[in-house]
Amino acid sequence: MLRHLESEVNVSGDLSHEIKSREHKGVKGMAQFHKGRNNLSGKANRSLFAGIILLVLVCMSFYLIFVHKLQVNQWYYLAPLIIAIVLSSYYIRRGVIFRFGAKGETIGLVEALHLPEDYHVFTNVSISYQNYSQETDLIIVGMKGVYVVEVKNHNGYIVGDAQDTEWTQHKVGRGGGKYSKKMVNPVKQVKGQVYKLSKFLKEQGINVWVEGIVLFTNEAVHVKAHNSSVPVLVHDNQLSHYILTCKNRQYLNKTLIHKVVEILSSLQKK
């Protein structure tokens, strides 16, 4: 299962494949990519590693108990083994969730790179304002403006209001049973990121309009967002089209683009 998961969500592999594919087709126009540290991939790797190590220890313990007939006289001697099983399950499940999110970010990134070559795409930029830090999935900078993109890879039927703290995700399980669970309101998430980035840039003497976008990349998703001033896009192929065709509030000249790119690049290095 883990091997299948690795091949399915290999971030660098997906990106390399896209670049080679475009080169093979003779497509020269491609947005400039500024790679940050993919925290979701890092968290996934650490969680999966911890879960697998614990699972190995559990298997070794069972081997000693049942094959070598290691005596366990009291039930509480098994307590560490039970704890290890629970923790292993937790870390592996957590790692799978992080991997799933990383896959969504990669799909969004690949689509953003379809923008013209005078656009810049940043991943995993951490923005700090008033002693509060928040990491962004994607920031796109170009002639049409500055865009912060919150990427979600959820599936199912998702419904919520822009003012709600949480949205509801309705899903159908493998056995056909229907269930629902809550998720953080992505519109509020991206609004917070837009606010912090806008304020931070103003502190650096750059007054630009920053717009937020929510992008759902999973093909098996349907989203109903009520009363949202933030565009909520479904499926990756809408991102570049939206940016290139939307009515933006401010056009950026090359000098302003260069200043914003320099600042975001410095944030990535921190």
Sorted by where each begins, the domain ranges of the chain are 2-37+117-269
User: What is the distance between the alpha carbons of residues 132 and 130, in angstroms, rounded to a whole number?
Assistant: 6
pTM of the model: 0.74
User: What is the distance between the alpha carbons of residues 183 and 1, in angstroms, rounded to a whole number?
Assistant: 26
**Half-sphere exposure in the Cβ direction for 8 (13 Å, CA):** 11
More confident residue, 39 or 192: 192
User: What is the distance between the alpha carbons of residues 188 and 162, in angstroms, rounded to a whole number?
Assistant: 7
User: What is the distance between the alpha carbons of residues 14 and 269, in angstroms, rounded to a whole number?
Assistant: 24
Nearest one of 131, 147, 148, 113 to 236, comparing CA atoms: 113
Residue 38's pLDDT band, with cuts at 50, 70 and 90, is low
User: What is the distance between the alpha carbons of residues 84 and 57, in angstroms, rounded to a whole number?
Assistant: 8
More confident residue, 44 or 203: 203
- pLDDT on residue 237: 66
Any idea which residue has 């091949």 for tokens?
7
More confident residue, 22 or 154: 154
Tell me the pLDDT tens digit for each residue of 162-192: 999 999 999 987 778 898 999 999 999 999 9
pLDDT exceeds 70 at position 23: no
